[in-house]
Amino acid sequence: MLTINTSIKKNNKFLTATIGCFLRFPLTKHNLAYASLLARMQMNASLYFPTISQQKQELSELYDLQFEVVPQLFGNQIVLSYIANFVEPLELLDPNYTYEKIVEDLALIIEHPSFDEKLVSISQQQLIAEYQEIMQEPENIALDRFFRIWYQNNPDYADNFMGSISEISEATVGKMKQFADNLRSVPAVLIGLARDKKYLSKLLNEEFKYAGLLKEFAPKNTVIPPAKILSSESEVANNLQSQLLLGYGYKQPIDFREQIVGLVLAQYLAGDQSSKLFVKVREQLGAAYAVEATNFANNSLFLINAGINKNQATEAIKIIKDEMEQISSGKIDLDLLKQAKKSLVNIQKIGEDHENWQLAHLLRNELYPSRVEVDRIKTIKSISEKQIHNFAQNLFLNESYLLK
């Protein structure tokens, strides 16, 4: 018997249900650009609802069903995500508002894109306008430049917003149709939360015809190893504040529990106003407008970035480097570590009360089935001073970038 990749969980908590259709394929500059354009096209219109107003009206008649299409990056993979949030039909006494109608409409929109030339053009214009707006912000310019340097030896991984804007601008109807046709056979999965999970699963299996629903969805590996570049660059843009990014690569690959250690370290360094770098760079030096730390495990990257006083960049860099050296030598504030773990546990618990967090959790379980049994809260609570020390020792400063 054929096994279709469908996993609907019982919805015991929310008045709304959610359905996600996810397609997985390799990350390249071309694929990200075309996935971004296709996503916008399908949010606008589709073959059976061929104008923006028609599709909007159809969804509004489903009690304002919220529909979003977005490419998500998981290391060397793209997951094109179709997500629908809607009021549970069992909450309403409307005979025309049913799981059948919802699934039918979603299948028509998701599986039958329109390749009308005007739709392609409008969607291109929307993305170009959004890209131009994004790149007005110095922090976005700096982040874009940072990743282009980080992946200078592998430019397919360098784009971090919507992909190559030139490829989006130059896409044709024929090329977009070919791209969408190819997606019909990539690995796919249907997941969601609903009161009647058995019946909704049955409907999804009947309506969705993607060949990729029969393929293994979990990739063998999503991690991009760090290329050793040891870069230090600064550029002048005459901004009111400077953007500083320090990127630490992993010396050795890490497992899932070590990824959680990285989350705790990020919280310890820059999670809130009591965190190490916030206190030292912002309060003591008075140089920072914002300080953040992020563990990009799939990119083998631990990133520290800050918006700082342009006249105090040198001092801020020294403070950050010194703190990382302190941690790697074992000098860790145990009270602050305890507070960082408590904050992460609270963030996790708050997330569990949100439907989109639950859907994202289900997606990660499909991508990384070996992690399903890991209790994140228990793991966070168990992180020790020694584990933080070991994680920091596995890091090397690979890129320093300053946009003045």
Are 247 and 146 found together in one domain?
A: no
Count of Cβ atoms closer than 10 Å to residue 118 Cβ: 11
Assess if residue 238 is contained within a domain.
Answer: yes
Are 85 and 162 found together in one domain?
A: yes
Q: Would you say residue 1 has pLDDT above 60? A: no
pTM above 0.85, yes or no: yes
Give the Cα separation of 277 and 280 in Å (integer).
5
| 201-251 pLDDT, tens digit each | 999 999 999 999 999 999 999 999 999 999 999 999 888 889 999 999 999
The predicted structure's pLDDT at residue 216: 95
Give the tokens for residue 279: 């206190």
The count of domains in the chain is 2
354 contact partners, CB below 8 Å, separation of at least 6: none
Q: Minimal CA–CA distance to 264: which of 207, 201, 208, 347?
A: 347
Give the tokens for residue 356: 């989109």
State the residue range of the domain holding 67.
6-214
Q: Would you say residue 79 has pLDDT above 50? A: yes
Query: Of 157, 183, 214, at which residue does a domain stop?
Result: 214
Give mean pLDDT, residues 321-345.
95
Are 266 and 367 found together in one domain?
A: yes
Assess if residue 223 is contained within a domain.
Answer: no
The predicted structure's pLDDT at residue 288: 60
| 89-122 pLDDT, tens digit each | 989 989 999 999 999 999 999 999 999 999 999 9
Backbone angles phi, psi at 66, to 5 degrees: -95, 120
The predicted structure's pLDDT at residue 287: 61
